[in-house]
Amino acid sequence: MGIDRKFLLCGLFFAIAGLCLGIYMAISRNHAEMPAHAHIMLVGFVFSFIYATIHRLWLPGLVGKLKSIQFILHELGALLLAVGLLLLFSGHGSEDSLGPCLGIGAFSVLLAMLMMTWMVMRARPAS
């Protein structure tokens, strides 16, 4: 399975999770988890979808470990952010205990974005 398809599938799973959380918040009329919902949808779904598109359209011939490392960094970082924020804003964890998890997740997502930017800058444009 290509990296573009992996990003797409992960993004769709994040979208399902984010939509389920949004429906839960609407039914319960408790929107305390809104920051987690927003991060799941943006970082998990939207970024993954954009990365899938970039890999498919601009980086199809890219070979090497860099793309796999970037995939792992982004998806694990997005998952850490999603779970950490969900626990934090649902009241199941303190900022002190979840801070390291959230920090690692945030820096992992940032590093993955920097890696994507590097890959796009180094890619040879199509003729």
Query: Six-digit token pair at 10?
Result: 């992960």
DSSP-assigned letters across all residues of 2-37: -HHHHHHHHHHHHHHHHHHHHHHHHHHT--TTHHHH
97 in a structural domain: yes
| pLDDT tens digits along 93-117 | 999 999 999 999 999 999 999 999 9
54 in a structural domain: yes
102 in a structural domain: yes
DSSP-assigned letters across all residues of 81-113: HHHHHHHHHTTSS-HHHHHHHHHHHHHHHHHHH
110 in a structural domain: yes
44 in a structural domain: yes
Residue segments in the chain with a per-residue pLDDT below the cut of 70? 125-127
Q: What are phi and psi of 54, to 5 degrees?
A: -60, -45
The whole-angstrom separation of Cα 57 and Cα 42 is 21
Q: Counting every residue, how long is the chain?
A: 127
Distance of CA 69 to the CA centre of its chain: 14
127 in a structural domain: no
pTM of the model: 0.92
Q: What pLDDT score was predicted for residue 126?
A: 63
Number of neighbouring beta carbons within 10 Å of residue 9: 13
Domain that holds residue 116: 3-122
29 in a structural domain: yes
100 in a structural domain: yes
Q: What is the CA radius of gyration of the chain?
A: 16
- For the chain, how many structural domains are there in total? 1
